[in-house]
């Protein structure tokens, strides 16, 4: 039987994968941007079946105040000297023409820690990558940002600088080792050694439809580097009908049997442009040609949905199950939850105040970049349904709590309870490409407790509610266009939230449970 890897291996918001192998385990680290905990880690022993293992950044970073699509970019994972090494960029601002990008390094003896205090490296660009040379030297490479360039994207190439692990600092001067090809926007450098060459694997063409993988090589780590004469090595840019779009940002791994695979980001846009699930992760089998250049094993440059599994794989392929439920009965939130720019703590997100319930205290508005009291999970299926039960007694229109679909502060749908003229009501608000409105209808409630549900089916979604004692669901809004919940660097989340813009922490909402059921698995809804 010929086994295959079916892409994406990591559905939903899982971009910028960096893959390594340590003994018999493969690891993939992905970007988190403004969502905490930062840098999600997945593991596999066969490249076919993957599971979410842990998150790394918790109390090492302060992301409050960082803008939309900023914060934790492009982690790079490596293993050397008995330690895991993780590099990441903390982007404070990306307001053109500048970028405030601070690069850090942390290390640990195990993927689960304990992780060292962050070592600051530089701020000249983003996508830092630490290369451990066979001769014992270590080198930091990163994309270089040049605000003077008269182009929309000012990524000007790749620079490299030696890193001294004893001094825990960069030494010498940075050297520019690669200028952009005409594809431009060169970033995400990773260095590998093979056959007497240093291979530089890079992303080019931007992160949308032009995204590509370009490879260059040199006999010396500091260059000069020659570009693959048939670049890009992989791209979907000329094939708008391909199932996997925006393919790029790759990393390379060799199996124990000597086969090679790359992990790369991609998206599955509905109707060709709406990537509601965000940027996901896929794998491709690759081979080295006679001239020593990397090629897709199936030929051409377009990534495949199904690729051969490693020769040593004997099965089985585990059925993907994206369902999730939290009854809030434990001492901590289930590990799937994420929050914005800060970790949940007892001051606003409590499982102790009312055992068996999740109590969220009112935070700042949905548009805040600071104290945003929201917890959410990734949407991982085109077809899904999420449900919750909430108890909330607002006394002001400035207080609200409920269930929402959230991409960012400029794009969301929020079914929320609030107070209007002394009555508790259920409303729906929307931010669409930065334009805000409160939608009809307004439902006057006879109870401060009710169940809320949201479902999605490809490009459309619906909200429902049910009062205590009712068996049937009532429609709040149905067949809503969801395509605006796509774009940027992240993906859509289903979230619980509580806000108090009258008095910080002046109110609270209690949630009894949360459930998410994904219905499509590998079904293609395009």
Active-site residue identified among 90, 187, 259, 430: 187
Instruction: Let me know: does 126 contact 147? Beta carbons within 8 Å.
Output: no
State which H helix or E strand residue 106 sits in: strand 100-108
Has 187 been annotated as catalytic?
yes
Q: What phi and psi values does residue 163 have, to the nearest 5 degrees? A: -115, 130
Q: What phi and psi values does residue 255 have, to the nearest 5 degrees? A: -80, 165
Alpha-carbon torsion (219, 223, 229, 232), positive or negative: positive
Q: How far apart are CA 448 and CA 424, in angstroms?
A: 7
Q: What phi and psi values does residue 504 have, to the nearest 5 degrees? A: -55, 130
- Preceding omega of 8 cis (within 30 degrees of 0): yes
Instruction: Residue 460: name the closest of 443, 485, 435, 493 by CA.
Output: 485
Alpha-carbon torsion (13, 16, 21, 22), positive or negative: negative
Q: How far apart are CA 450 and CA 470, in angstroms?
A: 10
Could you give the angle at the alpha carbon of 215 between the alpha carbons of 265 and 175, nearest 5°?
A: 105
Has 430 been annotated as catalytic?
no
Instruction: Residue 77: name the closest of 302, 310, 253, 296 by CA.
Output: 253
Q: How far apart are CA 160 and CA 354, in angstroms?
A: 53
Strand 349-350 and strand 119-122: pairing?
A: unpaired
Q: DSSP string of 343-365?
A: ---TTTEESSSSTTSEEEE-BS-
Residue 108's beta-bridge partner residues?
84
Cα dihedral 318, 324, 330, 331 in deg (nearest 10)? 90
Say whether 143 sits in a helix, a strand or coil.
Answer: strand
Q: How far apart are CA 282 and CA 236, in angstroms?
A: 13
Helices and strands: H and E segment counts in the chain? 0, 39
Active-site residue identified among 16, 127, 259, 381: 16
Q: How far apart are CA 13 and CA 40, in angstroms?
A: 10
How many angstroms separate the most distant Cα atoms in the chain?
77
Q: How many CB atoms neighbour CB 294 within 10 A?
A: 22
Q: How far apart are CA 145 and CA 70, in angstroms?
A: 15
Q: How far apart are CA 517 and CA 477, in angstroms?
A: 20
Active site residue ranges = 16, 187
């Amino acid at each position: 039987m010929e086994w295959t890897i079916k892409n994406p291996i990591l559905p939903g918001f899982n971009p910028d994968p960096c893959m390594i192998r340590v003994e018999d385990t493969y690891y993939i680290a992905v970007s988190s941007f403004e969502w905490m905990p930062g840098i999600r880690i997945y593991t596999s022993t066969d490249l076919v079946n993957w599971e979410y293992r842990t998150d790394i950044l918790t109390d090492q970073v302060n992301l409050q105040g960082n803008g939309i699509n900023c914060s934790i970019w492009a982690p790079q994972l490596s293993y050397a000297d008995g330690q895991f090494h993780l590099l990441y960029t903390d982007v404070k601002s990306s307001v053109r023409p500048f970028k405030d990008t601070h690069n850090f390094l942390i290390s640990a003896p195990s993927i689960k820690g304990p992780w060292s205090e962050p070592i600051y490296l530089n701020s000249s660009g983003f996508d830092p990558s630490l290369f451990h040379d066979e001769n014992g030297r270590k080198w930091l490479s990163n994309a270089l940002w040049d605000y003077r360039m008269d182009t929309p994207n000012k990524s000007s190439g790749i620079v490299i600088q030696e890193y001294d692990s004893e001094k825990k600092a960069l030494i010498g001067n940075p050297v520019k080792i690669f200028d952009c090809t005409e594809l431009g926007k060169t970033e995400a450098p990773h260095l590998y050694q093979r056959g007497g060459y240093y291979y530089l694997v890079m992303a080019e063409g931007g992160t949308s439809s032009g995204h590509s993988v370009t490879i260059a090589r040199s006999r010396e780590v500091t260059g000069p580097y020659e570009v693959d004469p048939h670049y890009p090595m992989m791209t979907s840019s000329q094939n708008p009908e391909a199932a996997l779009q925006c393919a790029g940002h790759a990393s390379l791994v060799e199996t124990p049997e000597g086969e090679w695979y790359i992990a790369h980001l991609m998206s599955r846009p509905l109707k060709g442009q709406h990537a509601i699930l965000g940027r996901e992760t896929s794998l491709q089998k690759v081979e080295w040609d006679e001239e020593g250049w990397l090629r897709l094993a199936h030929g051409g440059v377009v990534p495949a949905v199904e690729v051969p599994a490693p020769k040593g794989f004997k099965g089985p392929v585990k059925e993907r199950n994206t369902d999730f439920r939290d009854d809030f009965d434990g001492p901590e939130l289930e590990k799937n939850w994420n929050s914005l720019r800060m970790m949940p703590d007892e001051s606003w997100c409590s499982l102790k105040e009312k055992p068996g319930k999740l109590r969220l205290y009112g935070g700042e508005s949905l548009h805040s970049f600071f104290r945003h009291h929201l917890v959410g999970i990734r949407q991982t299926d085109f077809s899904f349904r999420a449900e919750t039960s909430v108890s909330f007694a607002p006394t002001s229109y400035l207080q609200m709590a409920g269930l929402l679909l959230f991409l960012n502060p400029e794009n969301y749908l929020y079914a929320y309870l609030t107070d209007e003229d002394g009555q508790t009501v259920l409303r729906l608000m929307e931010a669409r490409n930065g334009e805000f409105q409160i939608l009809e209808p307004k439902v006057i409630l006879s109870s401060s407790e009710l169940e809320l549900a949201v479902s999605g089916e490809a490009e459309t979604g619906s909200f429902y509610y049910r009062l205590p004692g009712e068996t049937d669901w009532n429609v709040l809004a149905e067949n809503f266009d969801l395509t605006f919940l796509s774009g940027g660097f992240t993906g859509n989340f289903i979230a619980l939230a509580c806000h108090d813009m009258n008095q910080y922490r002046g109110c609270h909402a209690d949630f009894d449970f949360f459930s998410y059921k994904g219905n499509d698995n590998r079904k293609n809804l395009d």
